[in-house]
Structure 1
């Protein structure tokens, strides 16, 4: 596996979620994720509660492959970043253990101020250093 600086990878990962140019976003996704990579999201508590009432004890939302991951990132950008109120930034705490990188991220007001959200990501990398599994846990 290539020598990967975990904070550099976390910074590049977060940059995708705030990139306004769709073509640059697509290119970055293709560079960071393996072709068959997956983004697996543990939904916020309120969604998990609704799912539990419907009989789902462990709901997750999953995107597989570059196209689905791009759609997921694009929707997140449209909902949270494009309106101009918030942006995402890495928490600066990335660590690596073999082929796993863990880091926190924050959702902050564009004009500055305290974080209004955030979460934890755990990335599993392949031998080429590309993401094969991306586990996202939103919530502070």
Structure 2
């Protein structure tokens, strides 16, 4: 399931056609994403959310901050967002549930550290 985390984070770091391809291949068309700041459904809405986050934190990248813990069709892991190679400014924890085809169906995000 580490591949899912890689593709998940790659989606958050990508833009344009690359992100659209990642969403089409690895995310369910009716995905639901919820965190303390957003609640969206569908890959188009996830793409718009990624655009908004990239706009708020230009030049920052998402990276994996913990090993994924998985069972059945769900996994959890921590991530960081910050300048590449530097200490993350934002740290979060996500739980991802996959559909029967192994695509991202549901994401529940938690923010552990957010800048003031």
Give the TM bin, normalised by the shorter chain. Answer: 0.7 to 0.9
Q: TM-score, with normalisation over the residues of structure 2?
A: 0.87
Structure 2, unaligned runs of 5 or more: none
Instruction: Report if aligned partners of 1:40, 1:63 keep a CA contact under 8 Å in 2.
Output: yes
Which residue, 36, 44, 64 being the options, matches 1:42? 36
Q: Where does 1:41-80 land on structure 2 (aligned, <5 Å)?
A: 41-43=35-37, 61-80=38-57
Q: Which has the higher strand share?
A: 2
1:30 aligned residue: 24
Q: Which residue of 1 aligns with 2:69?
A: 95
Partner of 2:9: 14
* Corresponding residue number in structure 1 for 2:92: 119
Contact persistence 1:63–1:69 (CA under 8 A) = yes
The Cα of 1:136 is off from its aligned counterpart by: 1.0
Higher relative contact order (CA 8 A, sep 6+): 1
Task: Give me the TM-score of the superposition, normalised by structure 1.
Answer: 0.74
CA RMSD of aligned residues (A): 1.5
Deviation at 1:115, TM superposition (A): 2.2
Moved over 4 A (4+): none
Q: CA deviation at 1:33?
A: 1.4
Structure 1 runs not aligned, ≥5 long: 1-5, 44-60
Gap change, CA 1:66 and 1:113, over 3 Å in 2: closer
